[in-house]
Amino acid sequence: MTGQVAEAPLGDDPAAAVAQHMAALRRYARSLVRNSVEADDLVQECMARALARLRVWREVRDLRAYLFTILNNVHLDTIAQRKRAGNVVPLDEAIKTLACRPNQLARIEANELAEALEHIPEEQRRVVLLVGIGGMKYHEIASMLGIPIGTVMSRLSRGREALRQMLAGEDVPKLKRADA
């Protein structure tokens, strides 16, 4: 090493620099534990460890890699703690989870939405899914599909309206291709 250390991109607000990576860290944590509550706990512990060690950040060359390494270590520490603790379930915690609310309604609504999506034109469905599930921006979709941004907005509007009408049990006029 030449003795010269690259500055971490912290600026004046280290918390803001870390916050830029929260979504990616949460996705990675969910892929590790497959549980959103546990994933949030992992990310929270990762943030606590990272912010507690601000003094070493001037040695950090890649903040994203640094945070992902901390998250991975937190996950490994959690696994090791669980192995040492064994299967201990406090009675108070177990009683709370014995009865749970029914989730049939949410499942029925999800099934109805999936079925309704099958009944809207492909062009509208694609845009609705890219916005709703993919979280893409209109200009990204327009570029990806090779269509004007106005067409994206039109297809999205018509697709959402058709879905709303179908889910509300209203009569939906015959759906046509979204060429506009």
CATH code for the domain defined by 104-167: 1.10.10.10
What CATH number matches the domain at 14-85, 2.60.120, 1.10.1740, 1.10.287, 2.70.98? 1.10.1740
- The tokens describing 172, both together, are 């939906």
Closest CA to 46 of 23, 75, 24: 75
The DSSP element (H or E) to which 160 belongs, if any, is helix 149-167
φ, ψ dihedrals at 12, nearest 5°: -85, -15
Instruction: Spell out the domain ranges in the chain.
Output: 14-85, 104-167
pLDDT attached to residue 170:
82
Q: Report whether 117 contacts 128 (CB < 8 A).
A: yes
Q: Quote the CA–CA distance of 40 and 71 in Å, as a whole number.
A: 11
Residues shown for the chain:
180
pLDDT attached to residue 176:
53
Residue with the two structure tokens 């291709």: 177
Mean pLDDT of 85-105: 73
Q: What is the tens place of the pLDDT at every residue in 56-79?
A: 777 778 888 899 999 999 999 999
Could you tell me the pLDDT band of residue 4, with boundaries at 50, 70 and 90?
A: very low
Can you list the alpha helix ranges (DSSP code H) found in 34-137?
A: 36-52, 63-85, 91-98, 104-118, 122-132
Residue bearing the bigger pLDDT, 150 or 4: 150
